[in-house]
């Protein structure tokens, strides 16, 4: 009769988290096998030590290398394959002799564990059973006291060995996540969380449940102090979000209007990300809603850009039924966006009992200005050329007033398919008060895939090159443009000449 092979999970490190079945099998086995690096210290054996008995044969399986280079003809993988084959032969010799073998595994044997390499090589030849163990992911959530996932949330487990851009994309697409295999990969992992815009939500857990346990916010960890037995955890967003005190009652609906910033997730604030993560319903102009990842438990409602009041009423009606609603805007919601539409409708008596909050975002004016230098470095005003909600004579009067006051001007909504003459009219109005050499910045799709920034002058501005994707920055009389190796630098001095 041959012996029996057991893959036994020991849990995350606390010997008291070893299951009753695992403890019984460890004590009864003829042979105990465990892995370690060349230093000889085995975490698995130290966890199992209380359950070992005298007289047991111990098979110490020492890795030939961990992160070192090798001259093996098959490279790292070839060296490891040979090692696992040798280990399997050693265990097979015991099994053939009728001895039961327990292979110890930290956490769970089939979850990023070394035991699986024995299982693949021996399970088809010998009677075999796997005893599950508490995973490090479960332990990390427990020591943090933060739920992993709730309701229809998606939990994704990822290896830290992925390239940062790949890891970041997967972090954007999930609700909660655990990133394993840190150590040398920690710098890349933290970069991935930052690229995904989720670094402020993430936690670091090291050697969970042991006397060397350490927890911290991921952003506060020194990469040089991170061991392999650690992980990064992104807990359930429902239970890991920023909430104002009046938002904390889960049975009460609310509407939060947020600014996504001018482009991708790197322009979004942590406060906005948290609100989006905890939302039941997300509402907004279709292209803005499409910028957000799909979440299994979340409903997304995109609509046309000319139905702001209807969109606001829809959001408030959902909130009245108990939903946590987030209304999204590009840039900042209070700048020609949904904050005014929602608050205007919310002021009606039928919505008097509903909570409405507004979270800021980076404006398109700030984004374009940053690409050019500091053209808005002194007093400036913000105007929209859209005459859909206000007449052109009001726009013209405000342009004239801004020019007369010598303010730099940020111009939103300069043109569209149906509005093609306003930019030229604006240029003529401003030239009555500004020198033709006044610097002008034309920013298109800043932060997006088709970003372009053009530095020109008021006299040379070509209205035909400006469309709805553009934002214009018109300098004051003091705004200067100076040549630099990387292109023109535009700025408005902080000090006015008379001072």
Model pLDDT for residues 213-248, shown as the tens digit of each residue:
999 999 999 998 999 889 999 998 765 544 444 444
* 69 pLDDT more than 80: no
Q: Token match 């001895």: residue?
A: 99
Question: Are 399 and 351 contained in the same domain?
Answer: no
What pLDDT score was predicted for residue 246?
40
Question: Are 338 and 324 contained in the same domain?
Answer: yes
What pLDDT score was predicted for residue 82?
94
CATH code of residue 116: 3.40.1010.10
Mean pLDDT of the chain: 91
Question: Are 211 and 255 contained in the same domain?
Answer: no
Work out the average pLDDT over 117-133: 96
Question: Are 296 and 398 contained in the same domain?
Answer: no
What pLDDT score was predicted for residue 264?
78
Q: For residue 456, how many other CB atoms are within 10 A of its CB? A: 16
- Phi, psi values for residue 34, rounded to 5°: -155, 155
Residue 497 lies in a domain: no
pLDDT > 70 fraction of the chain, expressed in percent and rounded: 96
Residue 498 lies in a domain: no
Of 359, 376, 393, which residue constitutes the final position of a domain? Answer: 359
Q: For residue 454, how many other CB atoms are within 10 A of its CB? A: 16
Question: Are 196 and 281 contained in the same domain?
Answer: no
* 418 pLDDT more than 90: no
Question: Are 397 and 486 contained in the same domain?
Answer: yes
283 three-state secondary structure:
strand
Partners of residue 444 on adjacent β-strands: 452, 470
What pLDDT score was predicted for residue 240?
56
Question: Are 177 and 117 contained in the same domain?
Answer: no
* 417 pLDDT more than 90: no
What pLDDT score was predicted for residue 250?
44
Indicate whether this model's pTM tops 0.85.
no
Q: Is the dihedral of CA 245, 250, 256, 262 positive or negative?
A: positive
pLDDT > 90 fraction of the chain, expressed in percent and rounded: 72
Question: Are 126 and 204 contained in the same domain?
Answer: no
Q: Domain limits at 230?
A: 137-239
* Per-residue pLDDT tens digits for 154-209: 899 999 999 999 999 999 888 899 999 899 999 999 999 988 878 888 999 999 99
Question: Are 15 and 128 contained in the same domain?
Answer: yes
Of 359, 387, 419, which residue constitutes the final position of a domain? Answer: 359
Structure tokens at 407: 């303010």
Question: Are 340 and 280 contained in the same domain?
Answer: yes
Residue 496 lies in a domain: no
Of 189, 205, 239, which residue constitutes the final position of a domain? Answer: 239
CATH code of residue 203: 3.30.950.10
Q: Is the dihedral of CA 410, 378, 338, 154 positive or negative?
A: positive
Residue 27 lies in a domain: yes
Q: Token match 């009219």: residue?
A: 425
* Polymer length in residues for the chain: 499
Work out the average pLDDT over 297-314: 89
Question: Are 171 and 227 contained in the same domain?
Answer: yes
Work out the average pLDDT over 259-280: 86
pLDDT band at 298 (very low <50, low <70, confident <90, very high): confident
* 67 pLDDT more than 80: no
Residue 379 lies in a domain: yes
Residue 266 lies in a domain: yes
What pLDDT score was predicted for residue 499?
66
Residue 104 lies in a domain: yes
Question: Are 371 and 354 contained in the same domain?
Answer: no
Structure tokens at 36: 């370690």
* 44/35 Cα distance (integer angstroms): 8
Most confident of 298-302, 307-311, 377-381: 377-381
* Per-residue pLDDT tens digits for 388-406: 889 999 999 999 999 999 9
Structural domains of the chain, count: 4
Q: Is 239 left (phi over 0), alpha (psi -120 to 50) or beta?
A: alpha
What pLDDT score was predicted for residue 342?
96
* Per-residue pLDDT tens digits for 429-486: 999 999 999 999 999 999 888 899 999 999 999 999 998 889 999 999 999 999 988 8
């Amino acid at each position: 009769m041959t012996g029996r092979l057991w893959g036994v999970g020991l849990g995350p490190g606390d010997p008291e988290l070893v299951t009753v079945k695992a403890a019984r099998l460890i004590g009864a086995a003829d042979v105990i096998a465990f892995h370690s690096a060349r230093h000889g210290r085995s975490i698995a054996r130290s966890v199992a030590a209380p359950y070992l008995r005298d007289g047991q044969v111990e098979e110490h399986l020492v890795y030939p290398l961990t992160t070192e280079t090798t001259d093996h003809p098959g490279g790292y993988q070839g060296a490891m394959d040979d090692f696992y084959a040798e280990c399997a032969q050693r265990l097979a010799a015991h099994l053939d002799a009728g001895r039961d073998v327990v292979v110890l595994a930290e956490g769970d044997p089939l979850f990023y564990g070394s035991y699986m390499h024995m299982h693949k090589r021996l399970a088809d030849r010998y009677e075999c059973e796997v005893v599950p163990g508490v995973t490090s992911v479960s332990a990390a959530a427990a020591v943090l006291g933060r739920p992993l996932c709730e309701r229809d949330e998606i939990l994704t487990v990822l290896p830290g060995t992925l390239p940062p851009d790949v890891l970041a994309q997967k972090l954007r697409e999930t609700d909660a996540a655990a990133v394993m295999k840190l150590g040398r990969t920690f710098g890349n992992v933290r970069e991935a969380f930052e690229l995904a815009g989720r670094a402020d939500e993430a936690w670091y857990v090291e050697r969970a449940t042991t006397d060397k346990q350490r927890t911290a916010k991921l952003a506060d960890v020194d990469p040089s102090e991170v061991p392999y037995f650690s992980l990064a955890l992104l807990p359930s967003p429902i239970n890991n979000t920023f909430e104002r005190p009046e938002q904390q009652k889960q049975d009460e609906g609310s509407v939060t209007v947020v600014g996504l910033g001018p482009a991708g997730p790197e322009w979004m604030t942590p406060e906005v990300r948290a609100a989006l993560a905890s939302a039941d319903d997300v509402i907004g102009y279709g292209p803005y809603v499409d910028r957000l990842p799909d979440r299994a438990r979340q409903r997304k409602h995109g609509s046309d850009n000319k139905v702001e009041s209807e969109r606001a009423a829809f959001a408030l009606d959902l909130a009245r039924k108990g939903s946590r609603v987030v209304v999204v805007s590009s840039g900042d919601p209070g700048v020609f966006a949904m904050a005014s539409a929602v608050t205007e409708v919310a002021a009606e008596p039928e919505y008097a009992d509903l909570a409405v909050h507004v979270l800021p975002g980076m404006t398109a004016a700030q984004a374009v200005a940053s690409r050019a230098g500091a053209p808005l470095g002194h007093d400036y005003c913000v105007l929209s050329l859209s005459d859909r909600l206000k007449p052109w004579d009001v726009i013209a009067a405000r342009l004239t007033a801004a020019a007369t006051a010598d303010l730099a001007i940020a111009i939103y909504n300069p043109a569209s398919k149906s509005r093609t003459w306003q930019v030229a009219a604006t240029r003529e109005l401003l030239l009555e008060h500004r020198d033709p050499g006044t610097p002008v910045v034309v920013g298109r799709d800043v932060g997006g895939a088709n970003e372009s920034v053009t530095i020109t002058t008021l006299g040379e501005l070509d209205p035909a090159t400006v469309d709805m994707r553009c934002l214009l920055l018109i300098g004051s009389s003091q705004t200067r443009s100076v040549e630099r190796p990387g292109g023109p630098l535009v700025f408005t001095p902080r000090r006015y000449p008379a001072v």
